[in-house]
Structure 1
Amino acid sequence: MRTISRRSILGGLALAAGFRPANADTGEKLSVATSDGGVALTRYAAEGQGKRAGVVILHGARGIELRPRAYERYANALTAAGIDAYLIRYYSPADDLALEKITTPEGRKAYHAGRFDAWSGRVSAAVTAILARPDSSRRLGLLGFSLGGYVAAATAARDDRVAALAVLYGGMPEKIVPEVKHLPPLLELHGDADHNVPLAQGEELVKLAKVAGAEAELVRYPGKAHGFDFSESDPIAADAIDRVVRFFQTRLTAG
């Protein structure tokens, strides 16, 4: 487990400062048909011709609308590094209606637990569509935040086309843990003051990945709570983006 120091954060800032906003606010709207309703995607394309790797970005429990700029910062950093980014809305219209009626954290948690199978299926359908694109190098990763991290982990455990997995303050759904036999290389970023998703959940995901034979790293941010990377003014946010982009560059484009 790696703990972040001030020196490492400043080093990350130097690289992150070089990322220019690519295609900000001009993402291409796509839709993938599934038996569970359409899956909406916003595609941010890296510059240049030829085939490129891709990363699918999975939002947290409150959807894309709560922090759209936070997700877009990751998309822009990925495209600046030559990787196409796809922001996916894995909720179905029925999910939106159901979640509007649930008023308690316990109720939402129970609802989420019953939907992981469907959500991972929707993400895999998007993976199929992305890999079939003529501009795809057929190297694809998943980047999940909070609930999206759980969905990304569940999908990666079941879909061996996923070549890399990065999770921020998430884990593996409890019901899926017993069936995990495979995971791709994993990067987990987690604050040790997270009361929404305790650090132990990230630690367990990393252990699970290693047992399955995957390379896995946990980066621990001391004193940081849930959603520590939401603020653009916090150096930790730039450090997290830098680490995520470097991870995907190594796993999807190196060589």
Structure 2
Amino acid sequence: MLSFASGETDIEVEWFGAPDNGLSIAGPAVLLLHGADGLTFVDGYRLAARTIAASGYHVAFVHYLDRTGDRRVNYSRLRQDFPLWVGIVRDALSWLAQQPGVDAERLGIVGISLGAALALETAASDGRVKAIVDYFGPLPEDLAARRPRLPPTLILHGARDAIVPVSQAYSIERLLKEQGTPYEIQIYPDHGHGFTGAAQFDAAVRTEHFLDRFLR
């Protein structure tokens, strides 16, 4: 297990390296940010990390809840803790850019639910993020009002999501469209807050193609 310092806290990172292609060329890398369930669904996040890594990307799965000492999000402190987590993501980008074999000019974030909101908030003020994959995440409250320029974004959402309504996906799309930012959106009509079966496979393929388009 690797780690980096954020404030006075060590943040653990699980590293999933891209396959060695035999070339001494630095490659693209992404942060993987889990949702509010934290590490209670860790095997699913590790599977996602391995899938992305197999596509040729270094993946850093960041345990950002280490900063607040939680295993899953404490909703009573969500607003209070959100800025702390954004700071961790920025520190994680700095750490990722310095890792051997990583091209600091080709960094992205794959965020799931709350992790996607953190990705959007971070990218709004950090130009190092060159691409975002948003798995059923909400648009941070004041982001639409601030109208920041975001990087190319892939939006993946379930039409029946009862936790983060699909209207959030369309709000993100509207913001990107107003900016003229490249984006793709896929709404899965029969899925809620999470994908299974064919939708899960399709989302993984779209993620790979999108990252290839903007980080290769």
Confirm whether residue 251 of structure 1 aligns to residue 214 of structure 2: yes
Aligned to 2:166: 199
Cα distance, 1:152 vs structure 2: 1.1
Counterpart selection for 1:56 from 31, 38, 54: 31
Cα distance, 1:219 vs structure 2: 0.4
Q: Is the 8 A contact 2:11 2:67 kept in 1?
A: no
Gaps of 5+ in 2: none
Counterparts of 1:212-223 in structure 2, within 5 Å, are 212-223=179-190
Whole-angstrom CA distance in 2 between matches of 1:90 and 1:31:
11
Whole-angstrom CA distance in 1 between matches of 2:137 and 2:8:
24
Whole-angstrom CA distance in 1 between matches of 2:83 and 2:116:
14
Whole-angstrom CA distance in 1 between matches of 2:81 and 2:145:
17
Cα distance, 1:163 vs structure 2: 0.3
Confirm whether residue 242 of structure 1 aligns to residue 192 of structure 2: no
Counterpart selection for 1:42 from 14, 19, 28: 14
Cα distance, 1:114 vs structure 2: 2.3
**More divergent stretch after superposition (31-40 vs 143-152):** 31-40
Cα distance, 1:36 vs structure 2: 5.1
Q: What is the count of residue pairs matched by the alignment?
A: 212
Whole-angstrom CA distance in 2 between matches of 1:37 and 1:180:
32
Identical counterparts, % of pairs: 31
Question: Could you state the TM-score of these two structures normalised by the residue count of structure 1?
Answer: 0.78
Sort the Cα spacing of 1:59 and 1:166 in 2 relative to 1 into closer, same or farther, 3 A.
same
Work out which structure has the larger RCO, using CA pairs closer than 8 Å and 6 or more positions apart in sequence: 1
- The one-letter code of the counterpart of 2:161 is D
Question: Could you state the TM-score of these two structures normalised by the residue count of structure 2?
Answer: 0.91
Cα distance, 1:78 vs structure 2: 1.8
**More divergent stretch after superposition (123-132 vs 73-82):** 73-82
- The one-letter code of the counterpart of 1:235 is A
Sort the Cα spacing of 1:180 and 1:89 in 2 relative to 1 into closer, same or farther, 3 A.
farther
Runs of 4+ in 1 over 3 A off after TM superposition: none
Cα distance, 1:249 vs structure 2: 1.3
Confirm whether residue 31 of structure 1 aligns to residue 3 of structure 2: yes
Q: Is the 8 A contact 1:116 1:173 kept in 2?
A: no
